[in-house]
Amino acid sequence: MSTNPVVKAFAYLLVHTPDFVRYGSKPHRETGIDPDLHRQIASHLRSFEEAVAYPPNQVFLGNLHPEDLAAIPEPWWKHPVKQAKANGAYGDFVDQEAFYGFLKAADLFDLVYLTPKFTQIVSNRLKQHHLSIPQDLEKLGTGKELDKIEHAIEEQASLPLYHMGELVGSFQRHHEEDASLQAHVLMENLMTKASGAIAVRSLLRRAGYTPDDADYLISCSEEAVGDRYNRGGGNMAKAVGEMCQMRFATGSDTKAFCAGPIYALVHGASLVKAGVFENLVVLGGGCLSKLGMKLSGHLKHDMPILEDVLGGIAFLITPDDGQSPVIRLDSVGKHNIGDGSNQQDIMKSLVVNPLERVGLALSKVDKISTELHNPEITVPQGSGNVPLNNYKLMAALAVMRGEISRDDISRFIEERGMPGFSPTQGHIPAAVPYLGHAAEAMEQGKLNTALFVAKGSLFLGRMSQLSDGMSFLLERNPGLSYEKKA
Amino acid sequence: MDAENQTTIMRIADEYGAENVLVFLGAGDVEGVEISAETLVVGDPSFAGPLAGVQLGLQVYHILEPSLKQYIPGDLYEEKLGIFELVIDGQQIEQSLSKLREQANN
């Protein structure tokens, strides 16, 4: 039996937030310059049903597999999945109305005002939602009168909140001069908290756990919680654990730009292997600032604004249970400070070196998951097909190492790669959207090894020009009977 | 091309004169290269960045255009660009950018 920790359970989440697209970083700035953009955004938003039926979203939630997506003709938004379900095999698609309920339930500082009428609506929705708890309903209150909401927007720099284009509330700042506690920043943080908590509740259900069973949380979400004296001070993890009633757990955050989830999984698995914690949750909530990030490309091509969803991820790491997929801690790949920053050096550090250490050739690993940004979102803006470009580089590396011939590049990409299907939520696409698919395929005996690779762009924070990234190999649990193998 | 890169290139063109600036692109997909090149020649086609409506008319190349290879030291090319040459179609990009350069010159 392996001594490495396992990913015992996983959960994925999508939240449809069309009326928050205006508060994504790009649209928020652009509409400040050109107010007419609001009209264009409104006419290119999708309904919940359209977002659910969008093929990449169905893959993210596990109702389809990446290989199914490769067989669906592009553009995918013109080929909706028939009878698509919001309840995914790996998690849920939450609509905006229900999400407003979770958002208010996450609010412990009276940041969110909702009208009495809308409060009643979301209260009814939460009562029926399988991921809500009685404490959520207690936090909803009875709502704020519309005149109070309008006053807050006009006089106190509150931001209007809309549902289906109608004013339903406002989001308050919490300090007049503190840039870290302005309404827009707090909105970003609270949306991460609410979506992260829904993902963790879903994870606990899927694992058959109660909230009391987990002992540590690591959040790899992309936000910066804190006030003017400690911007980015953090502990989103603990805030999420509190919303999930996890009385016997504590937590902390692990940040590493878009590679955050891989770092968090490696840190978490190491703590479990060391025996410090036994039931550790790695979570990532959604990122408001990424909504509508590539909207100018979408508007130019007269296609729907596809960045209208928040993503969420959650993984449960435990000691080896003899069944679940194993995180090979002896395979961890890292990009050292002294390593070069060209793509070839990065790929060597993150792909070749870790595989060599465990005796696997690049051309022998069953699947490789990289940043799985949905290309239909990025290509129209001129940002390229991120996963395909990464797979091409890995294939070229295999050619240079003499493992495959140049003619085999396409086959290498087809067999070991996959199309991008993740919303472009920064940390969310970081290879881990495939983890659920890999776990299922390993359980069914269809897959033995999968490498998870993610890179981060440190220059974005203006503190370092270095490249970054981390990787690990996930392996079918040796404890599983090989009779099950297909 | 993102707004930040547009701002940087606009500043350089302003400082040194557009006729003295050559731009070398490195992106792997033809469509992305075309959009970036168009932005630097006739202005930002998405009208989202600072080059919206600004015709810099810069000379734009891609680092993997086969006719440029002779100007780069062989060992440096192999170290920095060899891997990309295997998977990026420099020839197709050269054809596409040649057309754009011709248009810019006329």
Condensed to tens digits (0 to 9), the pLDDT of residues A417-466 reads 999 999 999 999 999 999 999 999 999 999 999 999 999 989 889 999 99
Of A253, A285, A318, the one marking the end of a domain is A318
Instruction: Count CB atoms within 10 A of the CB of residue B74.
Output: 10
Of A300, A379, A396, the CB nearest to B83: A396
- Res. A486: pLDDT tops 50: no
**Last residue in a domain, options A266, A295, A318:** A318
Q: What is the DSSP letter of A380?
A: G
Contact assignment for A400 to B86 by CB distance below 8 Å: yes
For residue A344, give the nearest of B35, B47, B83 by CB distance.
B83
Instruction: Decide if A397 touches B, using CB distance below 8 A.
Output: yes
Per-residue pLDDT of A26-43, as tens digits, reads: 999 999 999 999 999 999
Domain check: are A286 and A332 in the same one?
no
* pLDDT range class, residue A310, cuts 50, 70, 90: very high
State residue A485's pLDDT score: 45
Percent with pLDDT over 90 in chain A? 93
Check which CATH number belongs to the domain holding A336 and give it: 3.40.47
Measured CA distances, A440 to A63, A391, A447, A477, B84 (Å): 12, 23, 9, 12, 34
pLDDT score of A110 more than 60: yes
Same domain flag for A359 and A313:
no
- B27 near A CB under 8 A: yes
Structure confidence by residue, pLDDT tens digits, B4-48? 899 999 999 999 999 999 999 998 888 889 989 999 999 988 777
Average confidence (pLDDT) over A255-282: 97
Structural domain containing residue B18: 3-105
Residues A333 and A314 in one domain: no
Q: In terms of domains, do A332 and A429 share one? A: yes
Contacts of B47 in chain A (CB under 8 A): 296
Shortest Cα–Cα distance, A289 to chain B (Å):
16
Residue B106: per-residue pLDDT:
67
Give the pLDDT score at A393: 92
ipTM over 0.90: no
Beta-bridge partners for A373: A422
pLDDT at A476: 97
**Residue A447 placed within a domain:** yes
Which DSSP category does A218 fall into? E
The answer on A337 and A259 residing in a single domain is no
- Evaluate whether residue A197 is within a structural domain: yes
Question: Which residue, A179, A187, A163, A199, is CA-closest to A24?
Answer: A187
pLDDT digits (tens, 9 = 90+) for A326-354: 999 999 999 999 998 888 889 999 999 99
- Residue A2 pLDDT more than 70? no
Q: Residue A382 is part of which domain span?
A: 326-484
Interchain CB distance below 8 Å, B1 and A382? yes
**In the predicted model, is pLDDT for residue A253 greater than 60?**
yes
The tally of CA atoms less than 13 A away on the side-chain side of residue A218 is 24
Answer yes or no: is A198 within a domain: yes
Q: Are residues A287 and A353 in the same domain?
A: no
| Residue-wise pLDDT tens digits, A210-229 | 999 999 999 999 999 999 99
Assess whether pLDDT exceeds 60 at residue A24: yes
The pTM is what? 0.93
Mean pLDDT for all residues in chain A:
95
pLDDT, residue A469, reads 97
Query: Which pLDDT tens digit goes with each residue over A95-109?
Result: 999 999 999 999 999
Contacts of A29 in chain B (CB under 8 A): none
Please tell me whether residue B105 adopts helix, strand or coil conformation: helix
pLDDT at A381 over 90: no
Longest CA pairwise span in chain A (Å): 71
In a domain? residue A164: yes
Check whether residue A348 and residue A214 sit in a common domain: no
If one compares A439 and A481, the residue with the highest pLDDT of the two is A439
Asked if A75 contacts A419 with a C-beta cutoff of 8 angstroms, the reply is no
Burial class (CB in 10 A: 0-12, 13-18, 19+), A2: middle
Average pLDDT over residues A287-300: 95
Q: Which residue has the tokens 């069953």?
A: A366
B7 CB neighbours in chain A (<8 A) are: none
The rounded distance, in Å, linking the Cα atoms of A82 and A358 is: 43
A381 has a chain B CB within 8 A of its CB? yes
> Among the three residues A253, A284, A318, which one is the final residue of a domain in this structure?
A318
Domain identity same for A314 and A336: no
A229-232 LR contacts (CB < 8 Å, sep 24+): A231/A180
Nearest to A280 by CA among A8, A11, A89, A21: A8
Alpha helices, H only, B1-106: 3-16, 30-41, 74-80, 82-87, 90-105
Same domain, A373 and A300: no
Let me know whether A265 and A382 are in one domain: no
Percentage of residues in chain B with pLDDT exceeding 90? 58
Examine residue A1 and state whether it is found in any structural domain, yes or no: no
10 Å Cβ neighbour count for A148?
A: 13
Is any Cβ of chain A less than 8 angstroms from the Cβ of B83?
yes
How many domains is chain B partitioned into structurally?
1
User: Tens digits of per-residue pLDDT, A134-172?
Assistant: 999 999 999 999 999 999 999 999 999 999 999 999 999
Q: Does A400 touch chain B (CB under 8 A)?
A: yes
Q: Check residue A484 and give its pLDDT.
A: 47
Which residue in chain A is spatially nearest to B36 when comparing CA positions?
A382
- Count other C-beta atoms under 10 Å from residue A254's C-beta: 20
What's the confidence (pLDDT) of residue A181? 95
Quick one: angle between helices A409-416 and A386-400, nearest 10? 130
Question: How many domains are there within chain A?
Answer: 2
User: pLDDT band at residue B3, thresholds of 50, 70 and 90?
Assistant: confident
Closest-CA distance of chain A to residue B84, Å: 7
A256: DSSP letter: B
Write the CA distances from A334 to A341, A407, A468, B74, B101, integer angstroms: 13, 30, 8, 29, 42
**Of the given ranges (A92-106, A366-380, B77-91), which has the lowest mean pLDDT?**
B77-91
Stretch A275-292: mean pLDDT:
98
DSSP code per residue over A49-69: HHHHH-HHHHHHTTSS-HHHH
Separation of alpha carbons A287 and A303, rounded Å: 22
Cis (ω within 30 of 0) for the bond into A75?
yes
DSSP-based three-state secondary structure for B29: coil
CA–CA dist A141, A181 (Å, integer): 23
